[in-house]
Amino acid sequence: MVAIGTHTPWNRLAWLARHLTRLDRPYLITGPQAAYAYHRWLTPLENVATLQVYAEDVPIWRQVNGEGCQVFEGPPTTTQVQAAQEGIILDPALELERYRRRRAIGGLAFIAPEDLCLDLVERARGETSLAEAAAIIIAQRNFLAWDLLLDQAGQRRLSRRLGALLEAINVETITAVPSEVIEELGRRVNTVYTPPETATYPAGRHRSVPSSYQPISKRWRVRLALPRYVIGKVALDLQAQRG
């Protein structure tokens, strides 16, 4: 596993590490815990973690249930989370290539930041997912494997949405994303057929597009319905962290 150079081991997930030692099975920490490990911005609940695991291993992971830890095989309700002393949410979507791209932080296996960013871009139904994706990109901009991010975006048909997000980040931060990355993504979109988005992104939002985002929406053919304060607040908060 490859360590992320900007972070030192931390004890937020010591409870999870204790349970993981009982099972020698592949896993990736994903979701809010993984996002926080990369951006240190939006703090998640300490007693809940999402693990991507192989579907065939789910019966084995059920063995962790008990001794104050509850294993959820679907999204838990707020009441369930509040009642659980410790909670593990299983996501049976682990794939070999994702596991190979894992990152080690504090001795635990985390989903690669590139994969997590695209997961957030893909599932965005409001502001939080895109804000966290932007936070990871800004915080990890000097460490991201940009070629991998662009390759995976193309394979997952997320290039237009990613391009719009990257440009919006640069509107709010000036130079967080290297211009050559955006140019290369644009070249790929224009040389390989990628169907234009017809729906508002993120889905379900009906805000007007800020004037500064209108050229971005036109360029990437994605209606980026995102208030400026979403990425702007992320940028300000991360800048304040750096002092």
DSSP H helices in the chain:
14-20, 31-39, 58-61, 78-83, 96-100, 113-123, 127-139, 146-155, 159-173, 179-191, 214-220, 228-242
At residue 21, what is the residue type? Answer: T
Query: Cα–Cα distance between 133 and 162 in angstroms, integer?
Result: 10
- Eight-state DSSP code of residue 111: -
Token pair of 34 as six digits: 């993984």
- In order along its 243 residues, the chain shows pLDDT tens digits of 333 444 444 578 999 999 998 888 999 999 999 999 999 999 999 999 999 999 999 999 999 998 789 999 999 998 998 888 999 999 999 999 999 999 999 899 999 999 999 999 999 888 899 999 999 999 999 999 999 999 999 999 999 999 999 999 999 997 789 999 999 999 999 887 777 776 677 876 666 678 889 999 999 998 888 888 899 999 999 988 876
Sign of CA dihedral 193, 162, 230, 82: positive
Domain ranges of the chain: 2-110, 113-242
pLDDT value, residue 238 = 93
- Give the model's pLDDT for residue 5: 40
For residue 142, the model assigns a pLDDT of: 95
Neighbours of 141 (CB within 10 A): 16
3-class SS of residue 200 = strand
Q: What is the pLDDT of residue 2?
A: 37
Cα Rg, the chain, nearest whole Å: 18
If we measure between CA atoms, which residue out of 85, 11, 93 comes closest to residue 50? Answer: 93
Q: Which of left, alpha, beta for 67 (phi over 0: left; psi -120 to 50: alpha)?
A: left
pTM score, two decimals? 0.91
pLDDT of residue 10: 59
